[in-house]
Amino acid sequence: MAVTKSASNSVSEKKMNWKFIAGFLVVLILMLVAAVAVLTYQPFRFVEETPSLMLGSNSGPIPNEISLFSSDTQYLVGVELRNGEGLANPYLANAANLFSVVLIGNQKNVTMLYFEHDSKGTLLGCRSNMGDVLRDVELTKDECLSFVNDFSGKKVLIKWPDPSREKNLAVFEKGSVSVQSKDFDSLNNLSFWVISRGFPNAQSVIDAVNGMAGSVQ
């Protein structure tokens, strides 16, 4: 009877070991599946990439989005500025000016919008020329958001750089675009790359404006 009982216990232990192993394998497979999903996750339906840049869109293929972007007559150029960032804000203002110069040089109407954030990135309000270079209108946070939402033309939104990004990013959505570089130094190049995709004469426009500015000095 002792031998039989021992054999029975051995069989039971083997069944338990197999259950443990099978359970461990299931957990391991699920972990691998999750890891693959994270590594291959793509937030955009349509993507174009270079070693340093990603163009993404969920509303249409990138060439179609760029065509939509360049086909309008009314543009809102919005840029995120932060209080207490006197050395950094000029990088963003320069990017906004680049978009504005090229758009105006292509006979587009441009409204400038300067988002005012605190040092942590919380929106406080904004200022806008309302499409008139002689105006400077202060808007509350709610007025600012309503102004952006109600704007009927194409929008260019220049976001504060994100150092956690591996690549500079431009996201197109129904012809509007938001740009976010991974650092301040690459923001101007990113902005020029995006605007020149929509307006191939961008460099000629910039050269002409710089030439006129030089002749005035």
- DSSP β-bridge partners for residue 141: none
Tell me the per-residue pLDDT of 125-142, one tens digit each, with 9 for 90 and over: 999 999 998 999 999 999
pTM (global) more than 0.85: no
Cβ atoms of residues 125 and 83 within 8 Å: no
Give the model confidence (pLDDT) of 11-20 as tens digits: 565 555 656 5
Give the H or E element holding residue 169.
strand 168-173
Whether the Cβ atoms of residue 171 and residue 178 lie closer than 8 Å to each other = yes
* pLDDT (0 to 100) of residue 28: 53
The model's pLDDT over 110-119, given as tens digits with 9 standing for 90+, comes to 999 999 999 8
pLDDT for position 29: 53
Nearest to 55 by CA among 200, 202, 197: 197
Quick one: average pLDDT of 6-35? 55
Write down the pLDDT at residue 212.
80
pLDDT tens track for 45-104: 999 999 999 999 999 999 999 999 999 999 999 999 999 888 899 999 999 999 999 999
- What pLDDT, on the 0 to 100 scale, is given for residue 38? 38
Q: At what angle do helices 187-198 and 202-216 cross, to 10 degrees?
A: 120
200: amino acid identity, one letter: P
Tokens 């989005």 identify what position? 65
* 190, amino acid identity: L
- 24 or 164, which is more confident: 164
* Contacts with 43 (C-beta within 8 Å, 6 or more apart), sequence order: 56
Which secondary-structure segment (H or E) carries 82? strand 74-82
**Pairing between strand 176-180 and 154-158?**
parallel
How confident is the model at residue 13, as a pLDDT?
57
Residue 137: predicted pLDDT: 95
